[in-house]
Chain A
Amino acid sequence: MEKTTLAFEIGTEELPAFDLHAATEQLPRLVSEALASARVPFDEVKAYSTPRRLIAIVEGVPERTEATVEQFRGPAAKIAFDAEGNPTKAAAGFARGKGVDVSALERRDEGGVEYVYAVKETPAADVAALLPEVLEGVIASISWPKSCRWGTTSQYFSRPVRWIVAMLGEVVVPVRFAGLEAGNETRGHRFLAPGPHAVAHADQLIDTLRNAYVVVTEQEREESIRAQVAEAEKACGLVAELPAKTLAEVVNLSEYPTVMVGEFDELFLAVPKEIIVDAMLVHQRYFPLFNADGSLANKFLITSNGNPEFEANIVDGNQRVVAARLYDAKFFYDEDLKAPLESYVEHLDEVVFQEKLGTTLAKTKRIVKLVEHLCAAAGLEGQEKADALRAAYLCKADLVTGAVVEFTSVQGIMGSYYAKAAGETDVVAGAIADHYRPRFSGDATPATRVGKAVAFADKLDTICGLFAVDQAPTGSSDPFALRRSALGIVAMLTGDEALQVELVPAIDASLAAYAADGIEFDAAAVREQVIEFFITRTKVMVRDGGSSADAIDAVLAAGVREPLEFVNRVHALEHARQEAPETFADLAIAYARANNLRDAALGCDYDESLLSEVEHALACAVVQAEGRVACALDADDYPEALAELAALRKPVDLFFEKVMVMDEDAALRENRLRILNRFVDVFARVADFGLLVK
């Protein structure tokens, strides 16, 4: 049968860059599935996209689908038909399920038993007739993060759809969507070759667009941009920074990208480069250029969608935009530098941290107190302690500086510049910049112990305060990002170069600082909630780190308050289990049995005189383990505690093998239960082994 090409273009107003990328990735699958479910064969689906269009080109589409006969075996005839030979509900259901009439069911004998069969014949169909519904389904099935309605239509799409091209070979497929009907006219680049351009054959759609200044794939546009950037780098003798996110966006902000070089006044290089780079990348989607020594150059790269003939116009306009933005930045920066960073601290009393928790100045003072506690706990002394206290005092000061009010993303970084300008030490400046770290999952923790102490105190103060006024995160609502803050603290407690402090005393110190500020709350209840919150966050972190759920639950069941201890215990338990899988499997079974039989009412005081040899052996082992486990835990040696428990495997296995616990003699029975009670109790502080049973 003769095959042809199907061309399908959804023409739109400008689609959001990242949503467009996601849709481009969905499109081949959606088209393939829609064709397959309509039994339309094809060779290959290729997707193309630009900000104004999504295109699927399907090659090797025949004119007609193939006729098919499908046979389905249903229930036995005696179930499908009643005594009078009428079809039962079972038969009707089966027929409906297969899409045939119940009267069309056939009976066939199979080795003496009769079954009903549904035979479904699908005749060959005109592909052209099937396609409108198929393609309309494709439009509707693209999923968008946000969908738009427009005009009087009730259909949704990422942005308004303005034209549709749908052609099977030379024939238009009358796809309808949102008041439009597909035709054979596409449109070119919005300004360079708007069209409309008639397409004679589906095979020609892509070439028609290429001739109309449309670079039709993300990949081609990216290659073109990279090549032009390389050329510009060479011409300027500079190196461009192309962050993946900005590049991905720029690729989908033009149909015909031209890279142009812009320039700004060198005097703006006096402004911290973070602000300039932020303004360029985030606000303008320019690529900044750097000198060989890594310093920022006063040139940048524009990726234009305009006519390259008018480069001078376009560059001039962009340069003026940059100048305006940098003027603003420099204005703030110069103003801010007129006073030392320290002088901004007192203005923090004009910024409320939280309605019920007072001002950011009050917060700053609590951070200082908490850092004092952390210094003592972690052994920071001398200059390190002095730096930590100073950084704590200054860490929020930049929030009231003009540059940060304007460019909020550079909070901390500006504080660090202002600190250096005011003669603070490098460590203090670094800690101010770092104290917002880690800012996202996977971000580094602050570089120095001083930075960690300030970051820790700031985050813990926020968590404790919001819990104290009943503003803990609920469901998806976590406006203060307390979960992320908690994970940050856990990372500083458990990661490399961890801050060697305990969390619970720090929580107590933080809550005490709030109490001293006159904030009223139920200290004991909040303390428990905060500890629980941290344990829950740690659990999530450990689980994401690949530890198994049963080990985590087993450790949690034994009660653990410190994230570091929690992490270490889970790792130790997993390690021990890996080293001796049989021992642990056995022990878990024995523990589970003992725990099931356990009768707390009987207590643990067994009568030694009633013990058999095997019972005695277990009792001795349990008593010995009690002492050693306690010692090991007191010494924070969890692996040793596990090893002690592992040593109980033999005596307890033997006990269950030789001893009939539920003896008819009540005295013997209860005595045995008392031993088991005591056996179970040994585990209590280590892990609930019952949860380790596979």
Chain B
Amino acid sequence: MSHAAKPDALSFQDIILTLQRYWADLGCVVLQPYDNEVGAGTNAPATTLRSLGPDTWRTCYVQGCRRPTDGRYGENPNRTQFYYQFQVLMKPSPDDIQELYLGSLRAIGIDTDKHDVRFVEDDWESPTLGAWGLGWEVWIDGMEVTQFTYFQQVGGFECSPVPVEIAYGLERLTMYIQGVDSMFDIVWSRGKDGLVFTYGDVYLENERQYSRYNFEVADTDFLFQEFNDREAECLRTLEAGLPLPAYDSVLKCCHAFNLLDARGVISATERMGYILRVRTIAKACCASYMEHVVGVKPEADSKEA
């Protein structure tokens, strides 16, 4: 059932470049991927921490996301333990944000008039970040290609003004645009001389190795220890009033937890315990950010819930 990529469709990297140009023109700071393991573009500090406080903020960036449990040894055409999101965050959310988003789809070659584009309720909640928002998953002909969220709370703090987050699933979107059935068949780049690199050329070996590592090899004792050490380091860093580096430790804890999860050593109940521990330090980072960066000393009660 394999289809070759449509020759006139944008390459993976052209899609990224086009989206960057599009959102840059709308005033977004084009950041480069955050250099720490994250499970989603949301978790990068440019979204999580910068959602807080009254200042205007607009950014877009590609973010490689690690979800160890999604690894399939490179054998599943739709599922990998590492993939890319294109993340847009605009605070406050513009009034015409849905139109702006649809415009970005048209920019990368999707004629929205000739497809079934829909906004289907999908509220977002991140138990580890103490964050939630309301929005949709965006479907194109039944395929979920984007998460679209108005953040209401981050780290237990009300967002005011409200940021809107748009997270494109780059591989799915590209598969759709190029008409290929396997992620690994995505045309990543196409040189003027006709030289083509596919997603498989770039990442298939990664998937094989990381799937083995995540599911079979990662040392669980080491990871449990890392979780504990990073948790302590986060709290120590916060005592020094440094939420930004402290937040790196939160991300390290999240990743250690995700790897432990992939190794199958965390149960439903334990999961709650670990999530609570991550949430506690994530919220502490947000509170510290509010205090030291935004300049608002959080009230005692806003630390709850």
Contact = CB atoms under 8 A, between A and B. Distances in A.
Interface of A: 13-14, 16-17, 19, 51, 146, 148-152, 154, 158-160, 162, 190-191, 253-254, 265, 284-286, 302, 304-307, 310, 313-318, 320-324, 327-328, 331, 347, 350-355, 359-360, 400, 479
Given A149-B162, A331-B76, 12 more contacts: A149-B150, A159-B134, A191-B113, A191-B117, A254-B118, A305-B118, A314-B141, A318-B143, A352-B265, A352-B269, A353-B269, A355-B269
The list of the 6 closest CB pairs from A to B, nearest first, reads A317-B141, A352-B267, A306-B116, A16-B121, A14-B119, A318-B142
B141 A318 contact: yes
B94 A151 contact: yes
Given A320-B143, A331-B75, A352-B269, A313 B121 contact: no
Contacts of A160: 93, 95, 150
B79 to A, nearest CB: 7
A162 B79 CA distance: 37
B81 to A, nearest CB: 14
Given A160-B150, A306-B115, A355-B273, A151 B162 contact: yes
B83 interface: no
Nearest to B122: A16
B57 interface: no
Highest count of chain B CB atoms <10 Å: which of A285, A350, A355:
A355
A350 B266 CA distance: 8
B121 A316 contact: no
A355 B120 contact: no
Contact of A14 (B94, B116, B121): B121
13 contacts: A14-B121, A16-B121, A146-B134, A148-B152, A160-B95, A162-B95, A306-B114, A306-B141, A307-B114, A310-B115, A314-B115, A316-B141, A354-B267
Contacts of B143: 317-318, 320-321
B200 interface: no
A146 B136 CA distance: 14
B161 interface: yes
B272 interface: yes
A149 B270 CA distance: 34
Interface string B158-183: 01111010000000000010000100
Contacts of B112: 191
Given A152-B92, A253-B118, A323 B269 contact: no
A327 B164 contact: no
B264 A351 contact: yes
Nearest to A310: B114
Contacts of B119: 13-14, 51
A668 B75 CA distance: 95
B270 A305 contact: no
Which range holds the interface residue count of chain B? Answer: 35 or more
Contacts of B79: 328
A307 B59 CA distance: 33
A265 B2 CA distance: 13
A324 B78 contact: yes
B98 interface: yes
A315 B142 CA distance: 9
B305 interface: no
Nearest to A358: B267
Nearest to B121: A16
Nearest to A324: B78
A323 B77 CA distance: 11
Interface string B251-268: 000000000000011111
A465 B117 CA distance: 49
A56 to B, nearest CB: 23
A29 B273 CA distance: 46
Nearest to A312: B114
A313 B162 contact: no
Interface in B125-143: 134, 136, 140-143
B1 A265 contact: yes
Nearest to B112: A191
Contacts of A154: 160
A158 B98 CA distance: 16
Contacts of A16: 121
Contacts of B113: 191, 307, 310
B123 interface: yes
Nearest to B273: A355
Contacts of A350: 264-265
A381 B72 CA distance: 45
B162 to A, nearest CB: 5
Nearest to A191: B113
A321 B173 CA distance: 12
A21 to B, nearest CB: 12
B140 A317 contact: yes
A17 B79 CA distance: 29
A148 B151 CA distance: 9
Central interface residue in B121, B136, B150, B176, by most chain A CB within 10 Å: B121
Contacts of A316: 141
Interface string B103-117: 000000000111111
A284 B142 contact: yes
A146 B123 contact: yes
Contacts of B117: 190-191, 306
Given A284-B142, A351-B264, A13 B98 contact: yes
A317 B269 contact: no
Contact of B114 (A51, A313, A354, A360): A313
In this complex, the member of A285, A317, A360 whose beta carbon has the largest number of chain B beta carbons within 10 angstroms is A317
A692 to B, nearest CB: 44
Contacts of B95: 151, 160, 162
B116 A305 contact: yes
A152 B116 CA distance: 31
A635 to B, nearest CB: 45
Given A328-B79, A350-B264, A321 B142 contact: yes
A158 to B, nearest CB: 8
Most buried by A among B72, B112, B119, B176: B119
A469 to B, nearest CB: 10
B269 A354 contact: yes
Nearest to A471: B269
Contacts of B160: 149, 152, 154
Contacts of B273: 355
Given A305-B116, A323-B181, A324-B78, A313 B141 contact: yes
A160 B134 CA distance: 10
Contacts of B121: 14, 16-17, 19
Contact of A323 (B1, B98, B114): B1
Contacts of A313: 114-115, 141
Contacts of B120: 14, 253, 285
B116 A150 contact: no
Contacts of A317: 115-116, 140-143, 176
A253 B120 CA distance: 7
A20 B134 CA distance: 15
A151 B143 CA distance: 28
Nearest to B120: A253
Nearest to B54: A152
Nearest to B263: A350
Contacts of B266: 352
B152 A149 contact: yes
B286 to A, nearest CB: 18
Given A151-B92, A355-B267, A321 B98 contact: no
A328 B78 contact: yes
Nearest to A20: B121
Contact of A148 (B134, B140, B176): B134
Contacts of A331: 72, 75-76
Contacts of B164: 150
A352 B143 CA distance: 35
B92 A360 contact: no
A479 B272 contact: yes
Nearest to A309: B114
B267 A302 contact: no
B141 A152 contact: no
A321 B123 CA distance: 22
